[in-house]
Amino acid sequence: MSLVTLSVFAQSRKITGTVIGADDGQPIPGVSVKVAGSNVGTQTKVDGKFAITLPSGANSLDVSFIGYATQHVNITVASNYNIKLVSNTKQLTEVVVTDSYGVQAKKSYTGAASTVSADALNDKPFSTPIDALQGQVPGLNISQNTGQPGANIQVRLRGVGSISADSNPLYVVDGMIINAGDLSRLNTAGATNVLSGINEDDIETITVLKDASATAIYGSRASNGVIIITTKRGKAGNAQVNFDTEVGKSVNLPLPVGGRPMGGTDYANTFLQGLTNAGVTGAGQTPYITSYGLAGPYNDWYPLVTKQGQQQQYNVSVRGGSETSHVFASAGYFKQEASVIGSDLKRITGLLNVDQTISKSFTFSTGLNISNVQQNDPSNGGAFASPVLSAFFLRPQQQAYASDGTLNTSRATNTDFSSIYNPLYMVLNDKKFDSETRVLGNATMKWNIWDQLKYTTYFSGDLVELEEQQFNNPIMGDGRTAGGRGYDYYTRYFNYLFRNQLDYRYDFSKDNDFYVEASLGYEAQKSDGYFISANSNGYPATQPLLTASVNASTPTLGNSSFSGYTFDAFYTRGSINYKNKYSLSGSFRREGSSRFGSDVSFGNFYSIGAAWNVDEESFFKNQSILSSAKLRTSYGSVGNAGIGNYVAQPTAGYGAVYGGGVGQNFNTIGNTALTWESSKPLEFGADFGVLKDRLSFSVDYYIRKIDNLIQNVPISRTTGFSTVTENIGAMKNQGEEITIKASPIKSKDFQWYTSFNISFNKNTVTKLVNDASFLNGSFQVAEGQDFQTWYARGWAGVDPSNGDPLWYTDATKTATTNNYNKATPFAQYQADPKVFGGWTNTFSYKGFSISGDIYYNFGNYINDSWAFYLTDGTNYTFNKYAYDLNAWTTPGQITDVPKYVAGGGTAANGATYSSSSSFSSRFLYKGDYIRLKNLTVGYDFKGLSLLKKYGISKLYLYGRGTNLLTKTYDSRLPFDPEVGVNSTSNLEIPQVRTFTVGINLGL
């Protein structure tokens, strides 16, 4: 027998086997199976099986896969092996992608960052990936002010970061700092969001960097945090093909009862009641009844401009590779028709990421992300051509269709579409279209000079082309007086970035118990914008209408312009780690920008952080309550460069005409001493777990002081200008963030995972120009107050004896008046929430699963900017909210709606009914709400033998609903409480409720 065994090992032979997970018994594809001590290897197939030929003399295998402990298998006389890999949770949490400049071990990471994985992003029915982050990241406040597909999303991290500069985070996609936000130049509801060109299914992770230790490496643009989007890449193993599709419908969220437009009969009765209260009675009302068609017929405008929306998406991807080559490729199609007429979005995306190991010393990676987004956008909520605004303003008596069945364009009194237009006609005959094409590419070369020293060079280019077309027809609407108006805008941004970096690691001990890491780099970025604008008037009134400007008789504008910026930076960072117990880190970046004055174009930004992993101490093992514990802190300085490209530069232009010739004039005064706003965040954090980390907690406390605020300061008008931009002012945000994650039930067949986060933030303005407060719209900006503090007269209700509107005379609220002009405005309430967060639960039983995301928001007040027209009788020829049906009519009646007087008017006792709908705290509502954001029910056909027979590795069917339930806390609220960071309703396209079904298929 010994001779036989020796004979077997003396010659090559074929070994087969299957690799499964020790926890669930499921086969693991893509596992590396290597002959120990050699380069001979293979990978497991989709069913976990492998076959390998052992060279002569080989007697063992090394079996390894990410997230599992490496298994060493001794080869005996057997030819088939069943190998179980044990999950290595320490390895899974060992590395965290922190930023564009490298990775850091989680144990040694001193910063505050939150990562959202692909599972929380894929297959969501949203047109932008940022939508899916709502409620997922503590401290990240995401709110939408419109239901328009692809519209810009408003994001604030740890409070408002500036008074006049940008308060949005910095966005980074696969290492590239991009131009984010709304790049459009026409005033439509779309507010085109550059991020809408990124397919959620292509994203591997989104990481949100919060504190100085995490963000300072980005220097002058990191004051408001950094959001890093990393796309999927290939993995070693057989090619995995995934296909998913999702289809469904959407409907507008229901309007609160009091916020619905009045029906025909109710409006007619209210109209006549208003005339009576204004002294017009009996036969005097007859001309009004005839002129305004109060006797009917009626139509209901809101159902006419809304509809059932449709949406669908299809995605296919291929992922795989060998030991030296990894490839991920995908294509996607997404289409969404909004629940308001004239609004839709279509997106086509493609992604290719390739990683190639050239040799032991060199690796090369490249990526290409291409997208085209096309949108039809109605006018925004503040425009009279907006279908949503029209549905609220138009009287039910104004008929959409004429007696012959054609769309009504009459200017007769009883229809009168001269100021508020027939939205059905406008959608058919106006054009508001934009097409955004984006090509985002990158290339990375890494050179391992030796084991401790690595060099990386990176280049990325981001090309965005935006074509916007708007046509206002010559028959009705904004183009009527000009015989039709046409606008053609072309916008192009080319943004490119170079980065070169050296990374060094030195181990003081061979067992990696004590080491230092250091990086040194140079980064340069340039963005060039090119803009063409062409406007024309005078279009032929043919049918169909000719919308191209070549058909116009009178060109009114034709120009082009350029705009750009540059950033130039040297940076370094380092860290030291001792036995995963104690970690210190620091970073420094010196950066210059063309946006700031020549005297101060460079600034210094830094951070220092520390972490103590208490669970690595010997004394920690003497207790049994905690399973892990970590304390961390950081401090630093980061900047805000979110201003115009030439604000600091004194500029002159030649757009003027002087004496019949070309004239020049100064158009900005500039300020060569203008520099960055500076934020100095201080952070204290703790992470700890119990029950083997099945229950874990993260607690963060921060103070974010911001100074050198950029503000306009008054100057003598003898300079030719009224203000100059200077660095004066300060504010701070401070708050707490708490995250709780748990696996309360974790059995073989049934699991329950839950995650809850809550964020508290308090904003305070600490310094202003000359210490003087000022008004910013309806907000009062004053020292000691929240930046967004409402400044309004205090509403005191309705006098039950006579229906007069009442206001408090001043902030003491000790006396009231029925004269609006005798009431003094005062600061009250705030627009940004005091508390917000999310709660996610996932339940799974065998193949069944159900998951839900809840988002909540408390502590802010929201404003109705159109209440002046839609409440009370001042503007009585417009339709009204239904809650005006509660208007005072009888002495002794208790109501919060004053007597309805057509045209306003002043009562004998001086009551100013014409001002009852003017801005006051009457139209500030609690913005508190809790919303069931997502609910998904699905079944995973894993382990089904029939699927394996046909090579199907995954089949998952699901149904999903979004915005299913909303709980509000103000009975007076006439609209949905999610209205954006300014907390103002502008009659934009409303939020929608969606119902979709989908399938995920893997081969």
pLDDT confidence of 863, banded at 50, 70, 90?
A: very high
Res 454: pLDDT: 95
Q: Which helix (H) or strand (E) holds 212?
A: helix 212-215
Question: Which alpha helices (H) appear in 70-206, and where do they start and end?
Answer: 89-92
Percent of the chain with pLDDT over 70: 95
- On the question of pLDDT at 191 being above 60, the answer is no
Give the whole-angstrom CA distance, residue 788 versus residue 827: 10
Pick the more confident residue, 8 or 309.
Answer: 309
Cα dihedral 618, 624, 628, 634 sign = negative
Lowest average pLDDT, out of 101-115, 165-179, 653-667, goes to 653-667
pLDDT confidence of 974, banded at 50, 70, 90?
A: very high
Q: Under a CB-based contact definition with an 8 Å cutoff, are residues 34 and 44 in contact?
A: no
223-237, 648-662, 938-952: which is most confident: 223-237
HEC string of 958-998 equals EEEEEEEEEEECCCCCCCCCCCCCCCEECCCCCCEEEEEEE
Mean pLDDT of the chain: 90
Q: Is the peptide bond before 297 cis (omega within 30 degrees of 0)?
A: yes
pLDDT confidence of 927, banded at 50, 70, 90?
A: very high
**How many residues are listed for the chain in this entry?**
1003
End-to-end CA distance of the chain: 45
Distances (CA, A) of 615 to 552, 629, 685: 75, 5, 15
- The arithmetic mean of pLDDT across residues 789-802, rounded, is 96
- On the question of pLDDT at 10 being above 50, the answer is no
Q: Under a CB-based contact definition with an 8 Å cutoff, are residues 674 and 710 in contact?
A: yes
**CB count in 10 Å sphere of residue 860:** 27
CA atoms within 13 A on the CB side of 859: 15
Residue 220, φ and ψ in degrees, nearest 5: -75, -10
Give the whole-angstrom CA distance, residue 314 versus residue 234: 20
Provide the whole-model pTM. 0.89
Residues β-bridged to residue 64: 32
Q: Which residue has the tokens 């401070």?
A: 734
- The arithmetic mean of pLDDT across residues 151-174, rounded, is 91
Using alpha carbons only, give the angle 711, 920, 383 rounded to the nearest 5 degrees.
70
Kindly report, residue by residue over 383-435, the tens digit of the pLDDT: 888 999 999 999 999 999 988 889 998 877 777 888 899 999 999 999 999 99
- The arithmetic mean of pLDDT across residues 183-197, rounded, is 73
Residues β-bridged to residue 590: 570, 604
pLDDT confidence of 98, banded at 50, 70, 90?
A: low
Q: Which of 494, 231, 187, 496 has the alpha carbon at shortest distance from 354?
A: 231
Give the whole-angstrom CA distance, residue 580 versus residue 413: 80
**Residues 6+ positions from 404 with CB-CB distance below 8 Å:** none
Res 91: pLDDT: 43
pLDDT confidence of 907, banded at 50, 70, 90?
A: low
**Residues 6+ positions from 18 with CB-CB distance below 8 Å:** 27, 44, 47, 48, 49, 50, 81, 82, 83
